Structures are given as C-alpha cells and as structure tokens.
A and B are shown apart, each in its own frame.
Chain A
Amino acid sequence: MQKEYEEKTGRAHKPLSPKQNVRKNLDFEPLSTTALILEDRPANLPAKPAEEAQKHRQQYEEMVVQAKKRELKEAQKRKKQLEERCKLEDSIGNAVLTWNNEILPNWETMCCSRKVRELWWQGIPPSVRGKVWSLAIGNELNITHELYDICLARAKEKWRSLSTGGAEVECEDAGFSAADREASLELIKLDISRTFPSLCIFQQGGPYHDMLHSILGAYTCYRPDVGYVQGMSFIAAVLILNLDTADAFIAFSNLLNKPCQMAFFRVDHGLMLTYFAAFEVFFEENLPKLFAHFKKNNLTPDIYLIDWIFTLYSKSLPLDLACRVWDVFCRDGEEFLFRTALGILKLFEDILTKMDFIHIAQFLTKLPEDLPSEEFFTSIAAIQMQSRNKKWAQILAALQKDNREMEKGSPSLKR
C-alpha cells in the first residue's frame, strides 16, 4: 500500500514543471498527505467489487491531488513571505547605511530634501530611530545631561520625604500645591506598572522600570507647572525604547513643549477646542460623508482624539505602527497627528458609517489590534492637509485668532 501511495504522489507531481519540482524538494515535505493512505478492506471482510474499488481509488487520488495542491500553495506562500521578509531586511539594512553614512552626518542640509523625506515616510530603521527623533525634535530648551541629573536628584529627594511619611499636607488652594505635586509622584508609581504591561519591561523589577520612573519624576521637578499627566508615561516609555535615559528626557521635555502637546498636557480647554475645530475642518474636507454621520450622531472629536493625541497613538496603535506614526510626526509636526486620525477614520469609513454613537466610540477608543500597516499608511497618505488652499497651520492660526477676538470682547480667564 505504501508503495502504491508513493507511486500516486509521484504521479500527482508529474504535471509540475521541473523548476517547481526542484522547489518542492527544497522547500517542503509532504506532511498532511502522509495521513491519507488508501487501505484495502481487512482480509476478514468480503472484498470490494472491482468497480467500487476502482471508484474509491479514483476518489482517493483526487483527495491526494487536492491535498498536494493545498500544500504546495501554502509552501509557496511561506516562501513568498520569507522572500518578502528578506527583501524588507535588505531594504532596512540599506536604509540604515543611508541614514548612518549619508543623512545623519549631513543632517542640516539633507533633512528636508525630497529623497530623505521619502525614505523617512517608509519608516526609520529601529537602530537609527532614536538619533533621528532626537535631531528632529531638537533641543530648543537647551537641556543638558547635568540639568537632567539635577532634576532627578530633586525628584529622588521628594520620593524619600514621601516614603518617610513626612508630608501628608493637604492644600486646598488651586494651582500646583504641594499636595498636587505629591499626588503626581504617587500617580507616576501607579501608572508605571500600567505602561505597556504586555511588554513586561516597565513593571517593578523590569529592566526599564527605573528609567521610566526617573524620567517622569525628573520632569515633574523640571516642569512643576505641568506636572505628571496620565498619558505621559506612554510617551516616555516609547522614547526609552529608542534612546538613553538622559537623551530620552531631553526629547521628552522638548516634545511636550511643542504647542499642541502643551495645550493638551496643561489641559488648556480653550486651545484644545481650537485644535478640535481645526481637525473638523479637515475632517469635513476629506471625509464629508463620515463627517455628516458623526455630526448626526453627536460624536465629537474629543471622544477619540483625547486619547490619541495625549499618548501620541502609543496606547491605541500597535507599537510598531505607533513608532512609524512618530517618525512622520517628528518630520511633519503636529498636523501629522491629526492627519493620522483622519487616516484611521478613512480606513474604517465603511464600518463606521454603519455604526451608532456608542459603537463608534467603542471602536475608536479600542482600535483593532491587527491593523494592516501598509493599508494604514496608504490611507493616511490619501488625506489632504489642505482646505481651500489653506494649510493646517493657517487654519489653526485663523481659528485661534477668532478665539482671541471673542475673548477680548468678554473678560476671560483664558490666556
């Protein structure tokens, strides 16, 4: 019987071209078909009539052929994936060389060239990512490693006085009271263990726990007026994954100092509203149908944008995609955050138009985990950040101006 099987599988392969046969020998071992063995009826039972036996043999052959086909197809798919991965690795390898040898040494002159911008869009190779982010974010605040050490030392002092229980003071006044700052430090501890728990590296005892703790603590001492705001731990964590502690701190502080981030992390309500309004201008322009659907359902942008902007997508997108969003965010600035949001809405436009308020809210605050990266970036690329010849910055500035004029009319607490 075994012999017969071999003969059959051999026959099943006859129609293949020699080339395919070679691949077959190299690539795969028939696994599942070995279970398909045609057995004759046991000797103690009457034999099958010849006609029936013939029919069964035929059916069996068909089954084997089908199984073979399937296997071959899968093997080819695997091979294709492997080839693609190799290609990807090659292109990453080449990109690393280009970044290291050509772009980084000539940063100032090259960073805005078309070629670099295109390479940038493809995603920065992880090995140079931190360097590129640092350069692109810059250090407007002129923070030095020494300043970081000073801030950290201060934070450590605070933690010590907190743990000895010396300061259970409660302060009722507004602003950043002592109690507030302590609550911030307390909160950091709580949140660190809740930052990317699935990676298991930021939790107590994990390799990056202390780094994350240090950066966030130092920041509350560096900017007591901002303090710790939930969402920051994710930003700091993503930076730590790509940079050394002190450099991560420098990037973190400078990143948060950008106008959009400052508006959000200081919870400047009026300014946040302006950002949402600007976002809606481009939303309507790019996705008018979905925009109308959201309006009809009273789905305001704050519902989904707050989480996305506060954490720079690091909580809502898979980490590798989030890093690619960060890449282009470092290149294009805040408008890319809003472009990304529109890209997400565009990608899921068909599903979203069929949903009601609560399901849209649920969907957007918990995006599918298996977001296809290429489709995702194609979708973002299709978003036009121009509305009636006006760019993001112009729309935003115009809205801000309107706001200021409105506020001038009535005395307001807002800046």
Chain B
Amino acid sequence: MAQETTPGTSLEGSHPTYTYKVVLLGSMSVGKSSLAYRYVKNDFREFLPTVGCSFFTYTHNLESATVKFEIWDTAGQEKYQSVCHLYYRNAHAALLVYDIAKKETLKKAKLWLEELEKKFLPDEIVIALVGNKTDLAAEREVTTEEGAEFARTNGLLFMETSAKSNHQVNDIFMAIVQELLRREKEKASAPSPHERSTIDLKEGTPKRRCCWL
C-alpha cells in the first residue's frame, strides 16, 4: 500500500520507512492549510486562499517505523473542484475538514466522503472527519455528537480540532499514522491472495500522478 523506501523491510526487527500521501479536502476557509501548517510547523498564521494545491511534508520518527507524510492541501472553492478532484488519486489517507461554526461545511464533507467511497475500497484509504475551529465555540453550529455520530456510522476517524489554539491537531494526524501502521501490520501478517501488501513495482514509478482525463 505505502511506498516502502527502506530496503530489507522483511528483516526481523527492521525499521521500515513508509511514505504516505495524505490529502486535505473540504470547503473553502474551513482551515485546511492552517491544520497542515499547525501540524508541520506548530504555528498559526493567516493563509492566502489556496489556488490549486499546496504541499507539505512531515516525517514521524516512531519506535517501530519512520512514517513520511506528503500532504496535499487542496483548494476549497467548489469551482476548482473539476480541476482538483483528482488530486486525491492514490491517496493513503484523507482528512475531510469542516468548520464547526458553519453547518453547510459538514454537508460538503459528507459529499466528499461519497466521492471517495466511489473511488476507493474501504481498506484502501484511511479517512478522518475533522471538525475544525473549536476556538469558535460560541458560534458553534455543529454539535460534537453530530460529527462523532456521522463518523461512527461511516467508520471514519473523528476529532474536533483547532489549528488556531492548537487543539488536537497533532492527535488527529497521529491517529491516522497509527491506523495506517495497524493496516500495514494486518496486511503483513495475513497477506491476501493477490499480495496487496507488497509494493507495486510493476508500475515503476509511484502512482501519485494527477491525471487530467
């Protein structure tokens, strides 16, 4: 599933390196860039609207493995969707971000889920629902229960965050790391008949191209 970049990962007690593509999706101005920035730089600043896509990288050095995240932070405006909707191709994880102070942004996140479900099998991608801007508690339009309930029924990871006040941002990304690693382990211990756990070398190049067709 992931691109393994360390040779000899099959060795006992080895320390593999995994590279995952993580994509941030959601309405405009829900805080996608801010979440990525908080996570990668542990800081908060005002962002210019993302046009197209911007990119971040982050490396987790865990005891069991090194996990590299390539974060694709997509433009939120709906108009861009026909251009950007393929940016999630070959993603290993997706964060569906909404703004807890704007009910319609949750609706949009649900639409993103439908889209992803059409394109991915459930075990192909880790999806997290993220209710951002908990610092705007006074203007809350979506209750925590509503988000959590939707995530539960659809088997998504869920957390409410605030990129501004640094609330649970790291936690949600860590939860994704853990889930990705759990799935790697699961696949390694029970290889499926068509050996999904091995790296697909047939293609030669990593499959992360944005296709325009």
Q: Is the CB of B49 within 8 A of A229?
A: no
A-B contacts counted at CB < 8 A amount to 84
* Chain B residues near A229 (CB-CB < 8 A): 77, 79-80
Instruction: Report the bound CA distance from A231 to B79 in whole Å.
Output: 11
Q: Is the CB of B82 within 8 A of A267?
A: yes
Known contacts A303-B53, A315-B48, A366-B54; A230 and B208 CB within 8 A of each other? no
Q: Is the CB of B46 within 8 A of A197?
A: yes
Instruction: Report the bound CA distance from A51 to B56 in whole Å.
Output: 63
Task: From B54, B56, B70, B79, give the contact of A227 (CB < 8 A).
Answer: B79
Known contacts A269-B83, A272-B83; A365 and B209 CB within 8 A of each other? no
For this complex, into which size category does the number of interface residues on chain B fall? 20 to 34
Task: From A230, A272, A296, A358, give the contact of B79 (CB < 8 A).
Answer: A230
Known contacts A231-B51, A311-B51, A358-B57; A267 and B79 CB within 8 A of each other? yes
A307 an interface residue at 8 Å Cβ cutoff? yes
Instruction: Report the bound CA distance from A311 to B77 in whole Å.
Output: 15
Question: Per-position contact with A for B175-213: 1 when CB-CB < 8 Å, else 0?
Answer: 000000000000000000000000000000110111010
A402 an interface residue at 8 Å Cβ cutoff? no
Shortest distance in angstroms between B184's beta carbon and chain A's nearest beta carbon?
A: 20
* Chain A residues near B47 (CB-CB < 8 A): 194
Q: List 7 A-B contacts (CB under 8 A).
A: A227-B79, A230-B49, A267-B83, A276-B212, A306-B83, A311-B51, A365-B54
Q: Besides A227-B79, A310-B51, 19 other CB < 8 A contacts?
A: A183-B78, A187-B28, A190-B28, A191-B49, A194-B48, A197-B46, A229-B80, A230-B79, A267-B83, A298-B206, A303-B52, A306-B53, A307-B51, A310-B52, A315-B51, A357-B208, A362-B54, A362-B55, A365-B55
Residues of A within 8 A of B (CB): 183, 187, 190-191, 194-195, 197, 227, 229-231, 233, 267, 269, 272-273, 276, 296-298, 300, 302-304, 306-307, 310-311, 315, 357-359, 361-362, 365-366
Residues of B within 8 A of A (CB): 28-29, 46-57, 70, 75, 77-80, 82-83, 205-206, 208-210, 212
